[in-house]
Amino acid sequence: MKELACIIVSLLLFSCGEQAAEKPKDHLPEDKMVNMLYDITMLQAINSFKPQVLDSNKVEAKNYIYKKYKTDSLTFAQSHTYYASDLEVYGEMQRKVADRIEKDKVKEGIIKKGVEGTTVKGGSSSGGPKIRPRTRTLKASDKTD
């Protein structure tokens, strides 16, 4: 058991290096990866909230993505690892996906566009639920004369 723990710790130490993953020979372009990540996010959301939609349309998420983008799981996995190894690039890709989702929410009327490009849910300027100020009613015993 101690040997296994030593092996795992040593693997973790060596895997924490600064060296990024090697660029795959058949890597996917960044814009195509962003589109794929967006579609995967949407399919996961649909599967979480309305899985019957995928079932009734006979959509198998993984095969749908690979077929739509004319790629395979190995190419996607290698490209994903390559982009994810550079946190700045991958963070920018995730930001693009999030921005696209926000635009879709505005387009569908789920959220409203606020001042200076900010989004507002449910009409509240803070993006959260509307909170009324607490009002206190005074009892006759609370009054001081």
Alpha carbons 28 and 80: distance in angstroms, whole number: 9
89-114 CB burial, b ≥16 within 10 A, e <16:
ebeebeebbeebebeeeeeeeebeeb
Q: Which amino acid is at 31?
A: D
Alpha carbons 29 and 34: distance in angstroms, whole number: 9
Alpha carbons 83 and 21: distance in angstroms, whole number: 8
How far does the chain reach from its first CA to its final CA, in angstroms?
Answer: 78
Q: How much of the chain exceeds pLDDT 70, in percent?
A: 64
pLDDT per residue as tens digits for the range 51-86: 888 888 888 888 899 999 999 999 999 999 999 999
pTM, two decimals, is: 0.64
